[in-house]
Amino acid sequence: MVDNKDFVEAYIEECIDQNIASPKDICERVVNEKEIIFQELRRQDKLRLKAKNLDQILKHFGHESIKRKRRKKTIVINPNLAVADIEPSYMELIVGICDYVEKINKPVTPRNIMNEVGTLEDNTDVYIAIKWLCENGILKRNDDRSLESGEKWADRPKENKDEAAQS
């Protein structure tokens, strides 16, 4: 695992700001904070298990909410595809991703983008859009796999071409 010196420095500064200055006290705070995190993760695991069990009840009764939905066909975007030739639904994702990265204004993980821009069913499409943005220099991947604006950020699509035509 890569050391994140910025996080460590910021965390220690935060402790010092709260008058927690000794290494022993900082470590105690970290241990307590980790325990809270692990408790939350255990709680979420229990919720996931309960949700799966509830799905089994719905499946048992043949409820329509549990029936498999047909997967929509995933479209592969060629990195050389011009912005004007991209399907409107993908352009909407691309613009949404750019808007989110601009709003956050710091490196962001692909998972954060997927959670904020699309639904669970859209994850593949969002990832393909992220890949197109990276391959076209609009986003760049850092050493820690996070994403931020690339050298062609200024050339990013800013609105759906259908919306632009209506303006």
Q: List pLDDT tens digits, range 79-132.
A: 677 777 777 777 888 899 999 999 988 889 888 888 888 777 778 888 888 888
The predicted structure's pLDDT at residue 164: 42
The predicted structure's pLDDT at residue 18: 95
Q: Is 137 exposed, middle or buried (0-12, 13-18, 19+ CB in 10 A)?
A: middle
Q: Could you state, in order of their start, the residue ranges of all structural domains in the chain?
A: 5-66, 83-166
The predicted structure's pLDDT at residue 28: 97
Q: Given 1.10.10.10, 1.10.760.10, 1.20.950.20, 3.60.9.10, which CATH number is that of 83-166?
A: 1.10.10.10
The predicted structure's pLDDT at residue 165: 42
Helix (H, G, I), strand (E, B) or coil at 121: helix
Residue scoring higher pLDDT (77 or 148)? 148
The predicted structure's pLDDT at residue 76: 60
